[in-house]
Amino acid sequence: MFRFRTAFRYAFSKTRGQRVTSIMILVGIAIGLIALLVISAVMNGLQNAQMDQLKNLESFDLIVRSDSLNAEDIRSLSGVDQAFRFIETNALIVDETSENSQSIRIRAFEGDIFESQRFSKSLTVISGSKDNMAGLLFSYTTRSRIGISYGDSIKMTFLRRGKTATIVPYSTHLPVSGFFSSKMSEFSSSTAFMDYSILSGIIGTDEAKIAVYVSENQKAVVQSIMKLDPDAVIITWQEYNKALYSALMLEKTLMYVFLAFMFLIICVNLKNSTRRLLSNKQKEGAMLRALGCSRKSVNAIFLGQGLVISILGEILGVVLGKILIANLQNVLKLVDNVVFALSGSRTVLTQIPFNASIGALETALVCLFIFLLSLIFTSIGCRRIYRSEIMEVILNASY
């Protein structure tokens, strides 16, 4: 208790400007931590939003290929939210009115995936109706690109398995039955939907797959499916989006590395502050030893003062960081207003289309990292205690 009290007093000692130095370092640690937490939260929010869109529309949680299982079998498994059988193929589409063309992927689901909460969260049918799937449902992006309108006749050319030749082209005409929009521009510009029975009549169901939305424990669901059909091929969303997932993780790691460098600067200051305190308090260190403190205890007091600053800086950083994350939208608006007032133009992103968030574990890990850095650098600052004979100070003072 005495050691802690002394370390705390020394950390904020009024003598020789120690308090100002300590407060500056504390604020530096807090600002560094806020930066780490906010950037992590934004990165998490961005990643989660992107991954959610991908999982809702593109890759689902799992895609299963099985000769023996149907969607109903998988839907009945524990941990599965929903499952839909689907087929997909690529086709060349030509708008017969404008004669514009585009290559597009066509997906058709058995059952009403548009009623699925996760699917409809990411995709909205804007005009026409999802119930009228006799035609094609295109995205607004495709509409703009090739200039199609509701009711236009679209010529579609597929490659399908022939009776004698392996692959033969096949063309058919279908009307535009509606338009959708999604939050994924790449998905929107490359995908159209049509009725399952019509598409399966054209390309067959040999390549049919099952899209699975998992509600909990993806790993357990995969194991359950493998139990039902050991030959099933299962692709998880992580495998499906491996390249993007790796890129996002790399981006986040690099950001952490750069921010860690910033922390090194703060830690060098912490080390120098410890050294300065040590010089200021050499006599007191000797005095404490004379009063009965062991060498280790005196060292612990000087080490403790650095850690007190570090821990208080971390507490301040976590509190302010969490407040900032919770009010990020308002802060961005404020920054935008300031920029607008100063420059007359709005250049800052005023609306972030995702929720910035950081979990307790990640926060704890960031704090632990900073704590360890502080510990190392304060220890370096304290090394002089081990190197020098502190009683020489009293001897020199007495001569």
Sign of the four-CA dihedral 323, 325, 327, 332: positive
C-beta of 79: minimal distance to another protein in Å?
56
Nearer to another protein, 11 or 373 (CB): 11
Q: Which of 296, 326, 334, 346 binds another protein (CB under 8 A)?
A: 296
Q: How far is CA 270 from CA 13, 72, 128, 172, 383, in A?
A: 15, 62, 65, 73, 14
Nearer to another protein, 288 or 318 (CB): 288
Measured from the Cβ of residue 293, the count of other Cβ atoms closer than 10 Å reads 18
Nearer to another protein, 5 or 227 (CB): 5
Burial class (CB in 10 A: 0-12, 13-18, 19+), 252: middle
Cα separation, 155 vs 175, in Å, equals 9
Cα separation, 108 vs 192, in Å, equals 9
* Candidate ranges 2-10, 119-127, 155-163, 363-371; the one touching another protein (CB under 8 A): 2-10
Q: Which of 294, 330, 347, 355 binds another protein (CB under 8 A)?
A: 294
Q: Which of 262, 287, 331, 380 binds another protein (CB under 8 A)?
A: 287
* Candidate ranges 12-20, 189-197, 219-227, 242-250; the one touching another protein (CB under 8 A): 12-20
Q: Which of 105, 227, 283, 346 binds another protein (CB under 8 A)?
A: 283
DSSP bridge pairs for 236 = 62
Q: Return the DSSP state at 123.
A: E
Q: Which of 164, 166, 343, 398 binds another protein (CB under 8 A)?
A: 398
- Is residue 94 within 8 A of residue 101, CB to CB? The reply is yes
Nearer to another protein, 53 or 282 (CB): 282
Q: Which of 165, 243, 257, 291 binds another protein (CB under 8 A)?
A: 291
DSSP 332-349: HHHHHHHHHHHHSS--S-
C-beta of 294: minimal distance to another protein in Å?
4
Residues that bind another protein (CB under 8 A): 1-2, 5-6, 9-10, 13-15, 283-284, 286-297, 391, 394-395, 397-399
